[in-house]
Amino acid sequence: NKQINVVGAGRTDTGVHAKQLIAHFDFEEKFDFQKIQFKLNGFLNNDISINNIYLVKDDAHARFSALSRTYQYKISKSKDPFSNQSFLLKRNVDLESMNKACEFLIGKNDYSAFAKLHSDNYTNNCNIFYAKWEESQNNIVFTIKANRFLRNMVRSIVGTMIEIGDGKMKFDKIKDIILSKDRSNAGYSVPAIGLCLVSIEYPKEILDGES
In SS3 terms, 5-18 reads as CCEECCCCCCCCEE
Alpha carbon 211 to its chain's center: 28
Which residue is catalytic, options 13, 94, 110, 166?
Answer: 13
* Number of neighbouring beta carbons within 10 Å of residue 42: 7
Residue 13 is a catalytic residue: yes
| Spatial CA neighbour of 112 closest among 124, 127, 126 | 124
Residue 101 has phi, psi (to 5 degrees) of -65, -30
Pair 91, 200: CB distance under 8 Å = no
Name the E strands within 149-206.
195-201
- For 204, other C-beta atoms within 10 Å of its C-beta total 5
**Which of 141, 120, 5 minimizes the C-alpha distance to 73?**
141
Q: 150 Cβ partners below 8 Å, 6+ apart? A: 111, 112, 114, 115, 116, 119, 121, 124, 126
**Torsion angle of C-alpha atoms 84, 90, 94, 98, degrees rounded to 10:** -30
Give me the active site residues, please: 13
